[in-house]
Amino acid sequence: MRQYEAVIQTLEKLGGVATLGQLNQEVFKIKDCEWKTKTPFASIRRIVQTNDEIYKIKSGLWALKSHRSELEQRGIIVETEINKNSEGVIEFNHTYYQGLLVSIGNLKNFGTFVPDQDKNRLFLSDKLDDLRTTKKIPRFSYDCFVSRSSTIDVIWFNERMMPDSFFEVEHSTDIQNSLEKYCDLQDFHTRMFIVADERRHEEYNKKLSYQSFSKIKEGKRVQFLSYDDLELQYQQAIKLQGVHTLIL
C-alpha cells in the first residue's frame, strides 16, 4: 500500500475527518504500508496538503472530499468570510478547540472537565462527554468558587482534584466576561488562559489593561493562547505520547 493510500484509509476509518495529530497517531497502525523516511510526520503533512482527494477544513484539520456533504450536515464546515459569523460555524469552532484542550489534558493525565451544557456537543465524531474524564466538577473549595468555575470551557484537574488550568475559548464572545471570572478565581494557584484567534490578541491586551483587571495583569495570572499555538501543542502532545510508548 502506498503512503497516500494509508492516509486516505485512516481518514475513512476516522469518519472522513481527522486532525493531523490523529493521523500521526493512527496511520502507522496500517501494517501494509512502509514509511522508509526519517520524517514520516512531514510526509503525512505533505500528503494531506497535496492530495486531490483531501481538503483542509482549518489549520491542522483535514477531511475527505467524498465525505464533505455528510460532514457539513454534521456542522463540520470550512469557515469563509460569508459564513464566519453563522451560529453553526461559531459553535463548531468553539467545540473544536474545547476538544483539543480536553485531548491534550487527557494525554497529560489530568482530569478533564467541560460544563454539562457542552457535554453533548461533538468534537469531530466524539461527544465531549465521552472525552472528558471528570463528569462532575470536584468540590475543591467553597461552593461560591466551585459554582463560579463550573461554566469554564475546559478545566484540567491534578491528582488531588485541584484545578491545574482554566481555559476559556473566546471565538466570538466578549473576552471581558472571562477576565472577570478569572479575577474572582485569582487566589487559586491555577493557570488561566484565554484561547482565541491571534486576531483577538490586541483586543485581549486592551481589555486586560482595564483598571479592574490590574491585579491579574500585574501578577501575570492570565495568558493568551492562540488557536495556532494550541494546534501545535496538540500535535506535539501526540508525538510525545508516541515517544513515551517507544521508550516503554
Indicate whether 64 and 135 sit together in one domain. no
Residue 245 lies in a domain: no
Indicate whether 113 and 35 sit together in one domain. no
Indicate whether 74 and 92 sit together in one domain. no
Residue 107 has pLDDT above 90, yes or no: yes
Give the 3-state DSSP-derived string for the chain, with helices as H, strands as E and coil as C. CCHHHHHHHHHHHCCCEEEHHHHHHHHHHCCCCCCCCCCHHHHHHHHHHHCCCEEEEECCEEEEHHHHHHHHHCCCCCCCCCCCCCHHHHHHHHHHHHHHHHHHHHHCCCEEECCHHHCCCEECCEEHHHHCCCCCCCCCCCHHHHHHHCCCCEEEECCCCCEEEEEEECCCCCHHHHHHHHHHCCCCCCEEEEEECHHHHHHHHHHHCCHHHHHHHHCCCEEEEEHHHHHHHHHHHHHHHHHHHHHC
Which pLDDT tens digit goes with each residue over 64-76? 999 999 999 999 9
Indicate whether 127 and 66 sit together in one domain. no
Residue 232 has pLDDT above 80, yes or no: yes
How many residues are listed for the chain in this entry? Answer: 248
Which pLDDT tens digit goes with each residue over 18-52? 999 999 889 999 988 988 888 888 999 999 999 99
Residue 248 lies in a domain: no
3-state secondary structure of 173: coil
Indicate whether 100 and 200 sit together in one domain. yes
pLDDT tier at 242, thresholds 50, 70, 90 = low
Radius of gyration, alpha carbons of the chain: 19
Residue 162 lies in a domain: yes
Residue 243 lies in a domain: no
Spatial CB neighbours of 104, under 8 Å, sequence gap ≥ 6: 233, 234, 237
Indicate whether 146 and 193 sit together in one domain. yes
Looking at 35, 51, 78, the residue that finishes a domain is: 78
Indicate whether 71 and 152 sit together in one domain. no
Residue 98 structural domain: 87-234
Q: Are strands 54-58 and 61-64 parallel, antiparallel or unpaired?
A: antiparallel
Closest CA to 19 of 7, 2, 4: 7
Give residue 243's pLDDT.
52
Q: Which residues pair with 122 in a beta bridge?
A: 127
Residue 246 lies in a domain: no
Provide the number of structural domains found in the chain.
2
Q: Tell me the percentage of the chain whose pLDDT exceeds 70.
A: 97
Indicate whether 43 and 121 sit together in one domain. no
Indicate whether 91 and 166 sit together in one domain. yes
Indicate whether 190 and 171 sit together in one domain. yes
Looking at 60, 78, 96, the residue that finishes a domain is: 78
* CATH code for position 41: 1.10.10.10
Would you say 155 and 166 are in contact if contact means Cβ atoms under 8 Å apart? yes
Looking at 14, 45, 78, the residue that finishes a domain is: 78
Mean pLDDT of the chain: 93
Q: How many CB atoms lie within 10 A of CB 223?
A: 12
Indicate whether 220 and 101 sit together in one domain. yes
Indicate whether 135 and 100 sit together in one domain. yes
Instruction: Tell whether pTM > 0.85.
Output: yes
